[in-house]
Amino acid sequence: MASSLKLSGIDAGYGAVRVLEDISLAVGAGETVVLLGTNGNGKSTLIKCVMGIVTPSAGSITADIDGERVDLVGRSTEEIVDLGISLVPEGRRLFPKLTVEENLLLGAFRSTARADIARNTELCYATFPTLRERRRQLAGSMSGGEQQMLALARALMSVPKILLIDEPSVGLAPVLVKRTIDKIRELKENHQLTVLMAEQNFNQAVRIADRGYVIVHGKIAFEGGSADELNNNELVRKYYLGL
Amino acid sequence: MGAAKFWAVSFIVSLMILVVTRSQIENEYFFFAGYVVLQYVVLATAWNILGGYTGYTNFGTGAFFAVGAYSSVVLQKLSPLPVPAMILVAGLVSGIIGLGMGYLTLRLRGVFFAIATLAMAIVAQTLIVNWDFVGGARGIYIIRPEHAPLFGGYIQYLYSLMLLLAWFSVAIARSIERSRLGIGFNAIRDDEQAAEAAGVPTLRLKLIATTLSGALMGMAGAPLPYYVTYLDPASSFNLSYAVNSVAMPMIGGMTSWVGPIIGAVLLGTIQQVATVTIASELNLLIVGLLLIAFVIVAPNGIVGLVQARRRARGER
Walk along chain B (316 residues) in steps of 10 and give the mean pLDDT of each run. 89 94 90 95 97 93 95 91 93 95 84 91 93 89 82 89 96 93 94 90 94 96 93 90 93 93 94 86 86 89 89 71
Residue of chain B whose alpha carbon sits nearest to that of A95: B190
Amino acid B283 reads N
Residue A241 has pLDDT above 80, yes or no: no
ipTM for the whole complex: 0.71
Mean pLDDT of A111-129: 89
Measured between beta carbons, the chain B residues lying within 8 angstroms of A89 are 193-194, 197
Which residue, among A32, A52, A49, A33, has the nearest Cα to A218 in the 3D structure? A49
CA distance A19 to chain B (A): 19
User: Would you place residue A39 in the very low, low, confident or very high pLDDT band (cuts 50, 70, 90)?
Assistant: confident
How far, in Å, are A5, A26, B143, B261 from residue A31 at the CA level? 10, 10, 76, 55
Q: Is residue B271 part of a domain?
A: no
The verdict on residue B158 lying in a domain is: yes
Within a domain: residue B115?
Answer: yes
User: A160 — contact with chain B (CB < 8 Å)?
Assistant: no
User: Whole-angstrom Cα distance, residue B48 to residue B256?
Assistant: 9
Q: How many domains does chain B have?
A: 1
Q: What is the four-CA torsion angle of B70, B76, B82, B83, rounded to 10 degrees?
A: 20
Nearest CA in chain B to A48: B197
Q: Do B186 and A107 touch (CB under 8 A)?
A: no
Query: How many CB pairs below 8 A link A and B?
Result: 71
Least Cα separation, residue B288 to chain A (angstroms): 27
- A29 in Cβ contact with A2 (< 8 Å): yes
pLDDT value at position B79? Answer: 86
pTM of the model: 0.84
Quote the pLDDT of residue B261: 96
Residue in B179, B200, B205 to test binding to A, most A beta-carbons within 10 Å: B200
Higher pLDDT, B243 or A39: B243
Distance from CA of A239 to the nearest CA of B (A): 30
* Residues spanned by the domain of B111: 3-242
Best residue in A45, A47, A51, A77 for a mutation probing chain B (most B CBs within 10 Å): A77
User: Would B256 be classed as within a structural domain?
Assistant: no
Nearest CA among B48, B178, B187, B175 for reference residue A78: B187
Residue A164's pLDDT band (cuts 50, 70, 90): very high
- What pLDDT score does A170 carry? 86
Is residue B88 in some structural domain? yes
Domain parsing of chain A, residue ranges? 28-51+75-241
Q: B20-45 burial string, b = 16+ CB within 10 Å, else e?
A: ebbeeeeeeebbebbbbbbbbbbbbb
In a domain, B300, yes or no: no
Q: What is the average pLDDT score of chain A?
A: 89
Q: Any residues with CB less than 8 A from the CB of B292 and at least 6 apart, and which?
A: none
SS3 annotation, B124-174? HHHHHHCCHHHCHHHCEECCCCCCCCCCCCHHHHHHHHHHHHHHHHHHHHH
Return the minimum-mean-pLDDT range out of A25-29, A173-177, B168-172.
A173-177
**pLDDT beyond 70 at A172:** yes
Residue A242, pLDDT above cutoff 80: no
Q: Return the pLDDT at A243.
A: 54
CB contact under 8 A, B197 and A53: yes
Q: Of A170-184, A220-234, B66-80, where does mean pLDDT reach its minimum?
A: A220-234
pLDDT at A240: 63
- 8 Å CB contact of B195 and A102: no
Position B315 scores a pLDDT of: 61
Chain B residues closer than 8 Å to A87 by CB: 197
Q: Considering Cα of B164, then B169, then B174, then B178, what sign does the dihedral take?
A: positive
Fold (topology level) of A28-51+75-241: Rossmann fold (3.40.50)
Judged by a CB distance cut-off of 8 A, whether residue A98 touches chain B is yes
Of residues A206 and B222, the one with the higher pLDDT is B222
In a domain? residue B291: no
Backbone φ and ψ of A44, nearest 5°: -65, -35
* Rounded CA separation B96/A19 (Å): 40
Contact B217, B190 (CB under 8 A): no
